[in-house]
Amino acid sequence: MSGHSKWATIRRKKEKIDAARGKVFTKLIREIQIASRMGGSDPNSNPRLRTAVDAAKAANMPAANLEKAIKKGAGELDGQVLEEILYEGYGPAGVAILIECATDNRNRTVGEIRAIFNKRGGSMAEAGAVSWMFERLGYLTLDKSQGEEEDVMMLALEAGATDVKDGGEVWEVFCATGDLYTVKGALEDAGKTVDSAELSYIPNNTVKVEAADSAKSVLTIIELLEEIDDAQNVYSNYEMDDALIESLA
């Protein structure tokens, strides 16, 4: 996962800037609506919704907007019906890419995604061609100042985590999706500060990208896909040195 946490950190910084301009509210509202529709309107029993609610609060979304999005998703208010679709493809250097979308128009969304793949040295793939390389997991990060690996690993594993890895500047903690907030709570109860907690697609194997031009192409296509209005999240199995990512970011 080397490189994943570095790019995720850079992306979160960008999202904070965008949040100040209100640009991320639409994606957050869509995620809240879908999570509420699929798993119910109670964040305490719906980990995906709780994750979305936490992200919305971190972006300073007004409480009224948050509540309205939950009610729309649960069918308590009228509103557009969003469909969740997972698109798959291959980017430059053969990296696998998943694009998690929320859309009310499949044709528009797939057209925008295909155009980016075609123009940026990638190709779309059929359903299942790429997703089998990933596993849906809970994913948490802690700054290394929060403790030694053995300490963090002991706390996380006792709480139900399945693995703890060195992510460069952070400790990466993995768990089953339903255990995300159990693990997060246990770490926080032990005095640890959790930087991020989310449901993510984690690659089972990675593709090492070492050449600067290939790395730039990979990060560019991912960033362009993330900028699509209907794209909620973009995942990839690339592996890059942190120094290379820093030089290109």
Listed residue (102, 180, 101, 184) closest to 142, CA to CA = 184
**Torsion angle of alpha carbons 7, 4, 56, 197, nearest 10°?**
-140
- Answer yes or no: same fold for 83-132+206-239 and 133-203: yes
Q: What mean pLDDT do residues 182-193 have?
A: 95
pLDDT at 234: 93
pLDDT at 202: 93
Q: Which amino acid would we find at residue 82?
A: L
pLDDT at 4: 52
| pLDDT, tens only, 10-57 | 565 555 555 555 667 888 899 999 999 989 999 989 989 999 999 899
pLDDT at 1: 42
Answer whether 113's CB lies under 8 Å from 132's CB.
no
pLDDT at 201: 94
Q: Kindly report the CATH number that applies to the domain delimited by 83-132+206-239.
A: 3.30.70.980
Q: Kindly report the CATH number that applies to the domain delimited by 133-203.
A: 3.30.70.980
Strand residues in 93-230 grouped as ranges (E): 96-103, 123-125, 134-143, 163-166, 170-175, 196-203, 207-208
Place of tokens 């109670």: 42
| pLDDT, tens only, 74-86 | 888 887 778 899 9
| pLDDT, tens only, 97-145 | 999 999 999 999 999 999 999 999 999 999 999 999 999 999 999 999 9
Q: What mean pLDDT do residues 149-173 have?
A: 93
Question: In 3-state terms, what secondary structure has residue 80?
Answer: coil
What topology is assigned to 4-73 in CATH?
Answer: Arc Repressor Mutant, subunit A (1.10.10)
Q: What mean pLDDT do residues 213-217 have?
A: 94
What is the pTM assigned to this prediction? 0.84
Of the listed ranges 4-13, 29-38, 199-208, the one predicted with least confidence = 4-13
pLDDT at 3: 43
Domain boundaries, the chain: 4-73, 83-132+206-239, 133-203
